[in-house]
Amino acid sequence: MAHIGTRFFTWRNGKQVGEDQFGNRYYEDRRGTGRRWVVYKGIVEGSKVPSQWNAWLHHTTDATPQSAQDLREWEKLHQPNLTGTPHAYRPAGHVTKGARRAAATGDYEAWSPEG
């Protein structure tokens, strides 16, 4: 959720230009100053901004993306950074997955400064 100051500034100065698949809303200054910003839906997390909208926010392109369907066949749908969430990747042997790893094979030789 946006802070009260951000909501007031957006209400007073912003013109909504689009929304992404996560529900984030994108604005530009209606006075023509060139300022652009995003109001996040839910948790404020920069990795929730898809690359097309990130390019627009940083003035790399002036074209506003219309949908996630504008992807090329080799592109994947954007996924926010899941680190620190229950959906984060945890490999086999991670402490939350039972902490059981395969036994060492003995093919590792430690480095020593004398050698």
For the chain, what are the domain ranges? Answer: 4-97
Q: What is the pLDDT of residue 42?
A: 87
Round to whole Å and give the CA distance between 80 and 82. Answer: 6
Rounded Cα distance between 22 and 50, Å, is 9
Which strands sit side by side in the sheet containing 25-29, from one edge to the other? 14-19, 25-29, 36-39
DSSP, collapsed to helix, strand or coil, labels residue 11 as: helix
How many Cα atoms within 13 Å fall on the side-chain side of residue 7? 5
Q: Is the pLDDT of residue 2 over 80?
A: no
How buried is 70 (Cβ within 10 angstroms: 0-12 exposed, 13-18 middle, 19+ buried)? exposed
Give the separation between CA 78 and CA 71, rounded to whole angstroms.
10
Residue-wise pLDDT for 15-74, tens only, equals 999 999 889 999 999 998 999 999 999 888 888 898 889 999 999 998 888 755 667 788
Q: E strands along the chain, which residues?
A: 14-19, 25-29, 36-39
